[in-house]
Amino acid sequence: MHKNEGYLGNINVKRAGVQSKWTEEEILEYKKCMENPIYFIENYIKIISLDEGLVSFKLYDYQEELITHFDESRFSIVLACRQSGKSITACAYLVWYLLFQPEQTIAILANKGSTAREMLARITTMLEHVPFFLQPGTKVLNKGSIEFENDSRIIASATGANSIRGMSVNLLYLDEFAFVDNAEQFYTSTYPVVTSGGKSKVIITSTANGIGNMYHKLYEGAEHGSNEYQPFTVNWWDVPGRDEKWKESTIANTSELQFEQEFGNSFLGTGNTLINANTLLGLQGKDALWSKDNVYLYQEPRKDHTYIMTVDVAKGRGRDFSTFSIIDVTEKPFKQVGIYRDNMVSPLLYADVLEKYGKMYNEALIVIENNDSGQIVCNNLYYDIEYPNVFLESTVKASGVGVTMTRKVKQIGCSTLKELMEEKKLMVIDKFTINELVTFVAKGQSYEADGGNHDDLVMNLVLFSWFVTTPYFQSLTDLELKKMLYDEQQQLIEDDMVPFGIIDDGTDEEKTFKEGGDVWTVVKDVQVY
């Protein structure tokens, strides 16, 4: 090569306007590289290794699969463990795309502009070691962009609502998207720009960073086939040299939790959650035994068990959710046995729902937050329906039905909930509730849902945890304990005295029930034991 052929003194980058005469071998090689990105990368891309310096990029098996995934998918989303080479693999693919796809615009966007420019610097290094016969001439090369003679270009910028506004983008690359601030706002403003063309591509790569953020939503949607993204996962064991011995050594030098966060592809909560990450990691959501009309029941009502239903009321306009949680307080640990979650139910109708499931669970004590629309539900349930077991914060004033969620009540509830869950005194098994817990984070002097998430079910638990600290709860559980012991003794006496028999039920319906461990069947107006 001649120095005059280089771009602004860089003899490794071919400047625009340089005329080249290709050999027959170069023409064949160009065609082979254009048709096969893996071949091009392994033969012509060089990277800087920490141990060896500048070396040829020899792809691992999973990196070859990842390149193919990028090339064959219009929308691809990648979940990868740390230090798996996902970013450098993506950069190599972008170089191939730039060189062999004319009239294309690529945008690299990251949480920080410096991060995006670092990606562009890697691409520049790769470009500098590609032979001239494979390079289109370069018209512009700086820290923020590269433009080629084939009218393809690549820009690097921080994510923001106006990052690519007014541009026609053919390929959008988002690296470490789970760590982007205001990702949902950015994505909703950017997505229409990219997808306006029928062949445009989006590549998203990241490690996991909690539940509920935009990256998590997109990846979960891809996994369940509910969006257009194709998922790809790089696990720690995919990387050569990583085996169980490596895992044990890594955990020994860090912690199991840190390993899961950085290498296990686990969507854990953020570091400022109310409940510590170790506890959140141990939560296991279960499938409901029965679900209908936004009610999910995980355990059937049991005879002689005491239940508390805590209630949060929304306006029923499709935003926040009206929720309740049913908790068995008969013994420790307390157990979540059912939930309700609906963002369209009217406060005027909600009391009927509460009555139905409260009665089902042995006339559960219903504790309602009476702020705003909650007062309507409290009054309907207590005065109109006359449900027999509603908690009264005060018997003096009309607004005494239910509980007013003051700052003090919330503080006590949050601190008690933290203690109950971290000391395994409260079992939470509902998946909706768990998802809310991992995004229930510190905001100022209090806790609330992280941006774009909900905390209505968590507030059920906060209200329950506050109630646990009250004298009413203590007296309730003490009395119930005494009653339970008495009823158990009575049952033992009756079991010894009562022979096999039948009892008239007064119904025509044939049903099967399971109650308190006893199975009985109604058949033609009788109960058979």
- Reference 326, options 312, 311, 313; nearest CA is 311
CB atoms within 10 A of CB 100: 19
- Token readout for 43 is 């033969």
Kindly state the DSSP code that residue 384 receives in the 8-state scheme: I
Query: b/e string for 366-383 if b means 16 or more Cβ within 10 A?
Result: bbbbbeebbbbbbbbbbe
99: Cα separation from own chain's centroid:
37
Kindly state the DSSP code that residue 398 receives in the 8-state scheme: G
Query: Which residue of the set 25, 52, 103, 176 is catalytic?
Result: 176
- Reference 314, options 273, 274, 374; nearest CA is 374
32 contact partners, CB below 8 Å, separation of at least 6 = 39
- Asked about 262 being catalytic, the answer comes back as no
431 — phi, psi (to 5°)?
Answer: -65, -40
CA distance 241 to 74: 32
- Token readout for 200 is 């445009």
Strand partners, 154: 106, 146
Q: Give the CA dihedral 453, 457, 458, 462, nearest 10 degrees.
A: 150
Residues catalogued as catalytic: 176
